[in-house]
């Protein structure tokens, strides 16, 4: 009886570890939690409008695309081709993450710039119109 309990205690952690890594026929399958921020690991289809929902929609689309790509890779019969498919999937997801982070960093840097440096054409008034309005409100002797 003691040997049986010892064997169960030895096997249980190994089973839990095997489920967590999702090893399919000797090939380790990439997991969504490797690529998504912690807030969007279990993202569901968002409803509504707003800044947070836009971000959730982005991560939801990426998650569904990731799941579809993993299904395609699982369908590959040959082990070497499946490994190559998973590697392509990882490279694609890491590239998307770096693009996403670069966009966030650019938006953050744009917010940090002084107002004069953000977009000079957006804040410029037509000089002609400004001068005409200035002259209109002057006393008669200056006209």
**Residue 81 belongs to some domain of the structure:** yes
Q: Which residue has the higher pLDDT, 104 or 143?
A: 104
Token pair for residue 86?
A: 């998973």
**Residue 56 belongs to some domain of the structure:** yes
Domain count, the chain: 1
**Residue 126 belongs to some domain of the structure:** no
Cα 138 to Cα 125: distance, rounded to the nearest angstrom? 20
Q: Range of 99's domain?
A: 20-108
**Residue 138 belongs to some domain of the structure:** no
The pLDDT value recorded for residue 134 is 55
**Residue 38 belongs to some domain of the structure:** yes
**Residue 84 belongs to some domain of the structure:** yes
**Residue 75 belongs to some domain of the structure:** yes
**Percent of the chain residues topping a pLDDT of 70:** 58
Half-sphere exposure of 28 (CA within 13 A, CB side): 10
Cα 61 to Cα 36: distance, rounded to the nearest angstrom? 12
**In what helix (H) or strand (E) does residue 46 lie, and over which residues does it extend?**
none
The pLDDT value recorded for residue 109 is 83
**Residue 123 belongs to some domain of the structure:** no
> pTM value?
0.59
Kindly report, residue by residue over 13-57, the tens digit of the pLDDT: 555 545 444 555 567 899 999 999 998 888 888 887 766 688 888
**Nearest 5°: phi and psi at 48?**
110, 180
């Amino acid at each position: 009886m003691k040997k049986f309990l010892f064997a169960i205690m030895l096997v249980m952690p190994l089973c839990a570890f095997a489920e967590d890594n999702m090893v399919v026929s000797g090939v380790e399958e990439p997991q969504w939690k490797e690529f998504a921020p912690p807030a969007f690991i279990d993202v569901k289809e968002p409803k509504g409008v707003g800044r947070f929902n836009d971000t959730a929609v982005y991560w939801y689309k990426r998650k569904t695309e990731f799941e579809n790509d993993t299904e395609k890779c699982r369908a590959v019969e040959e082990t070497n081709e499946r490994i190559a498919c998973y590697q392509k999937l990882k490279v694609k997801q890491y590239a998307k993450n770096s693009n996403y982070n670069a966009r966030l960093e650019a938006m953050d840097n744009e917010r940090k710039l002084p107002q004069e440096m953000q977009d000079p054409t957006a804040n410029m008034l037509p000089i002609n119109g400004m001068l005409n309005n200035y002259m209109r409100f002057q006393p008669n002797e200056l006209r």
